[in-house]
Amino acid sequence: MRAVYPGSFDPITLGHIDIIKRISNIFDEVVVLISHSAEKQSLFTVEERMKLIHEALKDIKNVKVDHHQGLTVDYVRQAKAKVIVRGLRAVVDFEYELAMGNVNRKMAPDIETLLVNASPEYYFISSRMVKDIAKNKGDLNGFVPKHVIKPLQSKFAKSMNKGGKK
């Protein structure tokens, strides 16, 4: 069975990777789906995110990376998957993910949403928090894969140079 794990992955974190590794042991194939959101301004381009994700997951054989603009349920149907996987970190995530799962179920009753709890050691990590650490020149070890650190720091170094002081 194929599952789709959608998100912005801007950038991919160790929390994302933990969930992907765990669900790759359950499903025959996992599609890590970079979703485009008009509401979010991405730091990395889709191509950059795909490259970073491919590198992070290169040792997991049953994982594929793709991107999509539009409704996730439309992609899931097209991919002939039956499950959308979403990660849960906190109570706030639960409320949002429960609502989203119910909306998806209303649109596509044949597609299930599986909520996977973040492992305790990654419970607090979010892409937004990681970007804030990078923006303020903090230590990113333990938050993102090693190969993501330099591109992340570079994005903020470029924006600081363009914006002047900081």
Residue 154 burial by CB count (10 A; 0-12/13-18/19+): exposed, middle or buried?
exposed
Q: Which of 36, 37, 40, 128 is catalytic?
A: 40
Domain that holds residue 109: 2-123
In a domain, 153, yes or no: no
> Looking at the predicted structure, is the pLDDT value of residue 119 above 60?
yes
Q: What CATH number does the domain containing 115 carry?
A: 3.40.50.620
Helices assigned H by DSSP within the chain: 14-24, 46-57, 72-78, 91-107, 127-135, 146-163
- pLDDT for 165 equals 46
Q: Assess if residue 130 is contained within a domain.
A: no
Q: Would you say residue 164 has pLDDT above 70?
A: no
In a domain, 44, yes or no: yes
SS3 164: coil
Active site residue: 51, 64, 82, 89, which one? 89
What pTM did the predictor assign?
0.91
146 catalytic, yes or no?
A: no
Residue 128 lies in a domain: no
The answer to whether residue 159 sits within a structural domain is no
Let me know if 61 is a catalytic residue: no
pLDDT digits (tens, 9 = 90+) for 30-71: 999 999 877 778 999 999 999 999 999 999 999 999 999 999
Residue 112 lies in a domain: yes
- Residues contacting 93, CB < 8 A, separation 6+: 87
List the structure tokens of 145. Answer: 């894969």
Whether residue 16 lies in the annotated active site: yes
* CA-based end-to-end distance of the chain: 49
Which one is catalytic: 16, 49, 68, 86? 16
Percent of the chain with pLDDT over 90: 82
Residue 46: inside a domain: yes
Give the full edge-to-edge strand order of the sheet including 63-69: 63-69, 29-36, 2-7, 83-88, 112-117
Active-site residue, selected from the candidate residues 8, 24, 35, 127 = 127
90 pLDDT higher than 80 = no
Q: Would 148 be classed as within a structural domain?
A: no
Q: Name the domain count of the chain.
A: 1
Known catalytic membership, residue 89: yes
Contact 84, 1 (CB under 8 A): no
